Structure 1
Amino acid sequence: MAKPNKKSPTKTIDIFCKRCNAPLFKYRKGGKGALVKCFKERIVEDATTTPCYCPQCEQPFARDTLVRGTPAYKFIGGKVWFK
Structure 2
Amino acid sequence: MAKPNKKGPTKTVDVYCAKCKSQLFKYRKGGKGALVKCFKERISVDFTNVSCTCPKCETLFARETLIRGTPALKLIGGKVYC
How far is the alpha carbon of 1:6 from its aligned partner?
2.3
In the other structure, the counterpart of 2:19 is: 19
Structure 2: state its 5+ residue gaps. Answer: none
2:43 matched to 1:53? no
Runs of 4+ in structure 1 over 4 Å off: none
In the other structure, the counterpart of 1:76 is: 76
Give the number of aligned pairs.
82
* Aligned-partner Cα distance in 2 for 1:64–1:73: 5
Which SS does the other structure have where 1:45 is aligned?
strand
CA RMSD, 1 decimal: 0.5
Letter of the aligned partner of 1:8 in structure 2?
A: G
How far is the alpha carbon of 1:7 from its aligned partner?
2.5
Structure 1: state its 5+ residue gaps. Answer: none
What TM-score comes out, normalization by structure 2 length?
0.98
* Aligned-partner Cα distance in 2 for 1:29–1:12: 6
* Aligned-partner Cα distance in 2 for 1:7–1:46: 18
What is the CA deviation profile of residues 42-75 of structure 1, one whole-angstrom value per residue up to 9, with x for unaligned ones?
0000000000000000010000000000000000
